[in-house]
Chains A and B, each alone.
Chain A
Amino acid sequence: MTDQNNKTNLILRAQNLSKSFGGVKAVVSVSFDLHEGELLGVIGPNGSGKTTLVNLITGFLKPDRGKIEYKGQDITGWTPYRIARIGIARTFQMIRPFAELPSFKNLIIPLYSPRVKALSGGKYGDLDAVAKDYLEEVGFERESSVTYKPAGSLPHGYLKRLELAKCLALRADLIILDELFSGLSIAELASIVPIIEKLVSEGKTVIMIEHRLRELFRIADRVVVLNYGSVIADGIPSEIMEKPEVRKAYLGSE
């Protein structure tokens, strides 16, 4: 928290994060900084520890070693709900919506969060209406059938948007998207990318774990490459694939 501050505000700092599962080292001494308003891409071959890293940051796993600071506060070892309350939202790789509930009712859960309650002055109000507002923001047409359909029957593209809407509804400052693009068609991507770009332009900070490099490189400000749990490269997208160690890690897998 010293000389880094003069560029923009540091929002997240990971220092020497390590985690192993019974002998398998999933994340090895990972360090990186993240500044407000940045869109950071995290890439790496399968099993390189990307999702473990997300779980470490969001408190679903406790690091064996290392430290995580969010807005200058040490949040290492906090419970997931405490971390969410200070403004870190995430999506899951395996999207499991509350399938029987209508789409907009899915947003009641984040809207019920103590964070949202505190931000809206300590009272909940009519959450249904607010939920529909957020759905509109991610491209659900207001009062259309998709808003009322059970979330379990939504097409894939809408499910991903619903996940985004949950992060918005939580009014998070840092949003971590775990493989949001996977399984989306080009058309669906074209409709979801602008939503993410809009988020960043509004000052939100975003971390994207991605396998779809081309789409990611188009929007990311910076990319971190993981391999066997370690950071092997950290730089701007146009240069990252030129690095020999990155090419080596991806050879054969991409």
Chain B
Amino acid sequence: MWEVAIIYGFINSVILALTALGFSLTFGISGVPNFAYGAMYIFAGFVSWLLLNKLELPFFASALIAIAFTAILGAAMYRFVLLRVRGLVISEVIATFGVGLIILELFRYLGFSGFEYTLPVFSDGSLLIGHTYVDYQRLWIVGVGILLAIGLYFFTHHTKIGLAFRGIAQDEHTALSLGINSDRIAGLSVAFGSGLAAVAAILILPRGTISVNDGYDVLINAMAVCIIGGLGSSVGVVLASFIIGYAQIMTDILSGPQWKMIISLIAILVILVVKPSGLLGKQKELEERI
């Protein structure tokens, strides 16, 4: 039983981290709270489904195009909505939340629900680890998740644009004086975060049917993980994912799946009381904490 807990806890944690990384990254770089994040996730799922089933493209191509489309959608949201209210936190929150709702509820209205909306798994079958069967799709999730984390690290530390991202995140004024266009970087960061949401969707959605409600769930989970790990801290997000991921699996095994959400809720409330900025929150002492 402990073997199951350890393996599935790990998988669950990677899934949580995958769904939260994009939100955290966008916020960490440009301070844009992308409340349309869950909608981006679902958008990627449905677009790739449409390409796959209506245009009959191969899965790999449709997945890539869906990821690209989602990133473009993110960039467009920045360009046409966020740019006009940049710096007004209240408006940024409301505008992204509104855009997310429009996308999600439009899909619901257009009748995107039912068992036919599924994405294919990467490869069928399962593997026996010790005494526990794990299907290949979950292994894919874990593998790609880990690769993505390593890739992101190299991207932000060793590429020009990645370094620009970090520059803006650390000190916008200095970065501006070095000739980094903060508006463009912020737009890119939203596109990038949306793209990550799409990657997560392509990987995770094949486990079940695509439903609009998942969009809200993804948003809730991403928020929960970010609140606990600390907004803008990628390491914090991963750490929080593992804490919640394992805690959820343990409660699932010990007392039943219905208590999973309670664990997240309790974790949020506890962290807010004990350390409001999250486990590894990079809250600048004077500017954001009051």
Binding site for B on A (CB under 8 A): 21, 55, 60-61
Residues on the B chain within 8 Å of A21, using CB: 285
Give the total of B residues in contact with A, Cβ under 8 Å.
2
Taking the closest CB of chain B, its distance from the CB of A105, in whole angstroms, is 23
Q: Give the distance in Å from the alpha carbon of A202 to the alpha carbon of B285 in the complex.
A: 36
Residues on the A chain within 8 Å of B286, using CB: 55, 60-61
Taking the closest CB of chain B, its distance from the CB of A54, in whole angstroms, is 12
Find the A residue at minimum CB distance from B282.
Answer: A22
Residues on the A chain within 8 Å of B285, using CB: 21, 61
Q: Give the distance in Å from the alpha carbon of A55 to the alpha carbon of B285 in the complex.
A: 11
User: Which residues 261-290 in B have Cβ within 8 Å of A in the complex?
Assistant: 285-286
Taking the closest CB of chain A, its distance from the CB of B175, in whole angstroms, is 18
Q: Give the distance in Å from the alpha carbon of A61 to the alpha carbon of B285 in the complex.
A: 8
Taking the closest CB of chain B, its distance from the CB of A178, in whole angstroms, is 13
Q: Give the distance in Å from the alpha carbon of A131 to the alpha carbon of B286 in the complex.
A: 29
Residues on the B chain within 8 Å of A60, using CB: 286
Q: Give the distance in Å from the alpha carbon of A60 to the alpha carbon of B285 in the complex.
A: 9
Closest 4 CB pairs between A and B?
A61-B285, A60-B286, A61-B286, A55-B286
Taking the closest CB of chain B, its distance from the CB of A33, in whole angstroms, is 27
A-B contact pairs, 5 of them (CB 8 A): A21-B285, A55-B286, A60-B286, A61-B285, A61-B286
Taking the closest CB of chain A, its distance from the CB of B26, in whole angstroms, is 23
Q: Give the distance in Å from the alpha carbon of A55 to the alpha carbon of B286 in the complex.
A: 9
Find the A residue at minimum CB distance from B285.
Answer: A61
Q: Give the distance in Å from the alpha carbon of A69 to the alpha carbon of B286 in the complex.
A: 23
Q: Give the distance in Å from the alpha carbon of A21 to the alpha carbon of B282 in the complex.
A: 12
Q: Give the distance in Å from the alpha carbon of A2 to the alpha carbon of B54 in the complex.
A: 88
Taking the closest CB of chain B, its distance from the CB of A36, in whole angstroms, is 30
Taking the closest CB of chain A, its distance from the CB of B203, in whole angstroms, is 35
Taking the closest CB of chain A, its distance from the CB of B233, in whole angstroms, is 13
Taking the closest CB of chain B, its distance from the CB of A100, in whole angstroms, is 16
- Contact flags B102-140 to A (C-beta < 8 A → 1, else 0): 000000000000000000000000000000000000000
Taking the closest CB of chain B, its distance from the CB of A84, in whole angstroms, is 14
Taking the closest CB of chain B, its distance from the CB of A81, in whole angstroms, is 11
Residues on the B chain within 8 Å of A61, using CB: 285-286
Find the B residue at minimum CB distance from A19.
Answer: B285
User: Which residues 198-253 in B have Cβ within 8 Å of A in the complex?
Assistant: none
Taking the closest CB of chain B, its distance from the CB of A22, in whole angstroms, is 10
Taking the closest CB of chain B, its distance from the CB of A207, in whole angstroms, is 19
Taking the closest CB of chain B, its distance from the CB of A46, in whole angstroms, is 15
